[in-house]
Amino acid sequence: MSQKSPVDNPPFAGERMSDTGLDADYNLLVDLLDGAIGLDDITDIHPADFSDQFEQLTPEQRERLITGAPQIISPDILSYLEDEVVEDILPLLPSDQLAQAISELDNDDATQIIEEMEDEQREEILGALPSADRAQLEASLKFEDETIGRLMQREFVASPEFWTVGSTIDHMRATGEDLPEIFFNVYVVDPTFKPLGYVNLSRLMRAPRAMLLSELMEPLLAKIPQEMDQEEAAYLFQKYSLISAPVVDASGRLVGMMTVDDIIEIIQTENTEDILALAGVSDAGLTDTAATVFKARAPWLFVNLLTAILASIVIAQFDYAINQIVALAVLMPIVASMGGNAGTQALTVAVRALSERDLTPQNAWRAVRREAVAALLIGIVFAVALAIIAYVWFGDTRLAGVAFVAMIINHVFAGLAGILVPLGLKRFGADPAVSSSVFVTTVTDVIGFFSFLGFAAMVLL
Amino acid sequence: MSQKSPVDNPPFAGERMSDTGLDADYNLLVDLLDGAIGLDDITDIHPADFSDQFEQLTPEQRERLITGAPQIISPDILSYLEDEVVEDILPLLPSDQLAQAISELDNDDATQIIEEMEDEQREEILGALPSADRAQLEASLKFEDETIGRLMQREFVASPEFWTVGSTIDHMRATGEDLPEIFFNVYVVDPTFKPLGYVNLSRLMRAPRAMLLSELMEPLLAKIPQEMDQEEAAYLFQKYSLISAPVVDASGRLVGMMTVDDIIEIIQTENTEDILALAGVSDAGLTDTAATVFKARAPWLFVNLLTAILASIVIAQFDYAINQIVALAVLMPIVASMGGNAGTQALTVAVRALSERDLTPQNAWRAVRREAVAALLIGIVFAVALAIIAYVWFGDTRLAGVAFVAMIINHVFAGLAGILVPLGLKRFGADPAVSSSVFVTTVTDVIGFFSFLGFAAMVLL
């Protein structure tokens, strides 16, 4: 989604915003469905607020609303709605309204809507568009999902380096309509349309009219290839505090631009993916039914069942020990649980550091060493605590000793697994957030039970 | 950090970037320390790249580098470095260099550096500044950490509504130096300096020179109070796809602006806080020593020790049952582990939905109901699985039945705790990411062990 055009009938949004923005405790669209207010009462809602409220409705409420008045879904609202909601409502919208919306929106927003359509509807809508618009959209759709070619805006402003400030401004005034809705930089290009630098509008505007763009331009900090993954592009924006960046094709020619507002969406999507992956959830949305929740969560729970059985098999090897000393069954979950949590802590820190690129091949060895030392330190402290508890509870020095040793061992394994597993996954090209948790908790469960029960069998029996 | 000024000797960064940006597999600063290259060889590194490489050095390497050549830490580099690193190196930098850097940087960047100083150094540097700069910084420092008053930029561009496009542009050309380095919007103000609307530069530039700003301006989607928490402001930027927003004081007068590049930093900080909080880590940075790692992780591990003991006490109540049927000790961790993971899944989804404001008082009840249905579904599926495993393993129908029932009960409690705990914490004004995990895993451990062992004692003995 690129910077939005203003609403057609812009209200002064200040007052209303505090109601519908931060403290959303009522929903105008529900009032509308109830007949308490009319269509006229919602014309001055900002598309972003409308979208938020619309997303809060049940699928049935959405259908009723659209069937009654499809025109309330303006082009801007479509670009603000979450992809899953767009996918749901597209079949409900009249084709002519959709074709109109697609041709009004900037290319990047239009692409996001087109890609949610069923093949048949997409063909119909593309066929109804002016051929220039269609060609642009088809060019975007040729790129993989989550690549810049798919996400970028194909409208941008470029000028040759021998133009002056004055001629550039005059040219923009004359072009008017065909420029992007909003832009921040003018890209300076060579005769083969390769970008040479950029001029921020706030500098262009301050510069003397006679100044050449080649004198005013600043170097480009990033030229983004069309094939680049969105995550890499987001990293470049963050790193260099970019507001917009030129996108180039394989021969280095300028073909589009990315702007920071789209990047924020990408950053949030990637963050959500990471945070959910760490908890073993493959996908989540508020439009989910219980069945899709099941599909998103069952796979990792299934893997966890297998690893829990593995841990149980370890316990079963020592059933004779538990049979003689039931205190072992009482204490063993503490060792496993502490290890599991310590491992998860180390893992989460490592995954975050990898995604922020603070943890690199350069400093990995130092990070592993520090993790090992910290784990030993943590292990000793909590081993002492557990030993005291075991002694006070069961009055058995040797049992306390077993708990002490097992706790230290499990913490060290937990810390090492917490950092080595994500580093290893990354090395082999896998996403460290996705499957690390399973590996790490398997290690801490198995090592936790094995070391505690194994030592107990050796020492106490 | 606001949009950076270009490097003083800007290289064409394209080539170098691919080496030092995305694929950081070597460090020029290490070469510099080794004497393999000289100071001249690093002058064309972008401050963002320099900062990344500098952060990778050990504290000893950093000290050696700065002691040898303090001037390599340019003002821009200071604004790119992570806060903890800035804090570490400030005592190493000469006062006159620091005072110079502070007065060169935009107000928001300067504030971030000043706030990392020890009191004594801060007094010295503030005393060395021109009084206007000092007053601005002192005004920012009066606001709480993580509020907009502390973070905003106090340089901005505002014009009265009766000005024309032409006079506004001419005024900007004449003012030159005193404008912010980079800006995107001109704020239109009334005679009491209250913001009325904004004009994006790309629109200002295209409009006829005679047009009044009052005709061209667009409504403000957000006016940010100085006291607002950074997280709320970040939400407004995301929601309305803002590039910059005006900041107002208690009487509604324009006092500063926030720009989107600062917001990206805030978003990443908040995401990191959430992701770490869910894993029970209070803070993390690559500059941490093992001791600070201990401090960041031990508190939650201590709480976990207490809850694990609680679970053990539950187990201990049924030691006579375990004594008679050791299979209980073998199977009980499976029930607890599955519940724990299912609870963490539900919790993570809920915490993310709360922070993205997709989960609101309006739809909370629906979300809870869906979570309960999903938990029941998941519980039944895995209860069947566990029952089969228990039967195959131990050949005991009644044991399988006990496992079946306990698994369903624990999954339902896990799902409900996963959503109700963060909703409850949020309702009482606490951060749902911070302590939810403890509550949820306590519930799943205690319920898991209690239901499994309790039913076993009732049915099997």
Instruction: Note the pLDDT tens digit of each residue in B286-336.
Output: 566 888 889 999 999 999 999 999 999 999 999 999 999 999 999 999 999
pLDDT of residue B30: 86
Reply yes or no on whether the pLDDT at B276 is more than 60. yes
With beta carbons under 8 A apart, name residues in chain B contacting A332. Answer: 329, 333
In this prediction, residue A387 has a pLDDT band, given cuts at 50, 70 and 90, of very high
**Unique residue bearing structure tokens 């009766």:** B162
Question: Which fold is adopted by the domain B290-460?
Answer: Tetracycline Repressor; domain 2 (1.10.357)
Query: Sorting pLDDT into bands at 50, 70 and 90, what band is A284?
Result: low
pLDDT at residue A286, as a whole number: 55
pLDDT digits (tens, 9 = 90+) for A257-269: 999 988 999 999 8
- With an 8 Å Cβ cutoff, are A180 and B172 in contact? no
The per-residue pLDDT of chain B, averaged, comes to 89
Strands ordered across the beta sheet of B224-225? B224-225, B244-248, B254-259
Using the predicted structure, report yes or no on whether residue A16 has a pLDDT greater than 80. no
Structural domain B14-142, CATH architecture: Alpha Horseshoe (1.25)
Mean pLDDT for A25-36 is 82
User: Is A334 in Cβ contact with B445 (below 8 Å)?
Assistant: no
Q: Which residues of chain B are within 8 Å of residue A10 when distances are taken between CB atoms? A: 218-219
Phi, psi of B11, deg, nearest 5: -85, 170
| Domain residue ranges in chain B | 14-142, 158-259, 290-460
pLDDT score of A241 more than 60: yes
For A396-436, the pLDDT digits (tens) are 999 999 999 999 999 999 999 999 999 999 999 899 998 89
Closest partner residue to B352 among A13, A175, A275, by Cβ? Answer: A275
pLDDT 10s digits, B69-108: 999 999 999 999 988 899 999 999 999 999 999 988 888 8
Mean pLDDT within A237-247? 93
pLDDT band at A20 (very low <50, low <70, confident <90, very high): very low
Phi-psi region for residue A280, left (φ > 0), alpha (ψ -120 to 50) or beta? left
pLDDT above 90 coverage of chain B, percent: 70
Spatial CA neighbour of B315 closest among A251, A441, A327 = A327
Q: pLDDT at position A56, please?
A: 85
- Over residues B266-284, the mean pLDDT reads 89
Residue A129, pLDDT > 50, answer: yes
pLDDT band at A181 (very low <50, low <70, confident <90, very high): confident
Average pLDDT over residues B175-187: 84
Residue B383 pLDDT class (50, 70, 90 cuts): very high
Going by pLDDT thresholds of 50, 70 and 90, the confidence category of residue A287 is low
- Reported confidence tier of residue B13, pLDDT bands at 50, 70, 90: very low
Q: Place B15 in a pLDDT band, splitting at 50, 70 and 90.
A: very low
Q: Which residue has the higher pLDDT, A76 or A177?
A: A76
Is the pLDDT reported for residue B408 higher than 90? yes
Which position has the higher pLDDT, A385 or A40?
A385
Of residues A330, A360, A366, nearest to B316 (C-beta): A330
Amino acid at site A372: A
- The shortest C-alpha distance from A452 to chain B (Å) reads 14
Chain A residue with the nearest C-alpha to that of B377: A294
Predicted pLDDT at A413: 97
Residue B92 distance to chain A (closest CA, Å) = 23
Residue A18 reports pLDDT greater than 50: no
Contact status, residue A459 vs residue A401, Cβ threshold 8 Å: yes
Answer yes or no: is pLDDT of A4 > 80. no
pLDDT bracket for residue B412 (50, 70, 90): very high
pLDDT given at position B14: 35
User: Does the structure show a pLDDT above 50 at A15?
Assistant: no
pLDDT bin (cut points 50, 70, 90) of residue B6 is very low
d(CA A42, CA A178): 31
- The minimal CB distance from B243 to the residues A3, A48, A208 is found for A3
Domain A158-278 adopts which CATH fold? CBS-domain (3.10.580)
Please give the residue that has the higher pLDDT: either A276 or B178: A276
How many angstroms separate the CA atoms of A350 and B297, rounded? 14
Nearest by CB: A17 against B200, B222, B315? B222
Confidence label for A25 from pLDDT (cuts 50, 70 and 90): low
- Residues A26-44, mean pLDDT to the nearest whole number: 85
Contact A345 B241 (CB under 8 A): no
Q: Say which range, B276-290, B359-373, B412-426, has the weakest mean pLDDT.
A: B276-290
H/E stretch holding A240 reads helix A230-240
Residue of A165, A194, A294, A305 best to disrupt the B interface, most CBs of B under 10 A = A305
**Residue with the larger pLDDT of the pair A44 and B183:** B183
Looking at mean pLDDT, say which of A406-410, B274-278, B429-433 comes out highest.
A406-410
Distances (CA, A) of A118 to A79, A104, A123, B253, B363: 18, 21, 9, 50, 29
> Does residue B1 carry a pLDDT above 50?
no
Give A168→chain B minimum CA distance, Å.
Answer: 10
Mean pLDDT computed over A175-186? 83
Tell me the pLDDT band of B181, cut-offs 50, 70 and 90: confident
- ipTM, 2 decimals? 0.87
Output the CA–CA distances (angstroms, integers) from residue A365 to A109, A170, A416, B60, in the order listed: 44, 57, 12, 17
Residue-level pLDDT at A358:
86
Q: Are strands B185-189 and B195-200 parallel, antiparallel or unpaired?
A: antiparallel
> Is pLDDT above 50 for B29?
yes
For domain B158-259, the CATH architecture is Roll (3.10)
| Cβ <8 Å between B308 and A358 | no
Minimum mean pLDDT among A147-156, B52-61, B145-154, B190-199: which range? B52-61
Residue A458 distance to chain B (closest CA, Å): 19
Which two structure tokens, joined as six digits, stand for B127?
A: 């005393």
From chain B, pick out residues whose CB is under 8 angstroms from the CB of A46: 221, 240
Distance CA A15, CA A142 (A): 44
Residue B59 has pLDDT above 90, yes or no: no
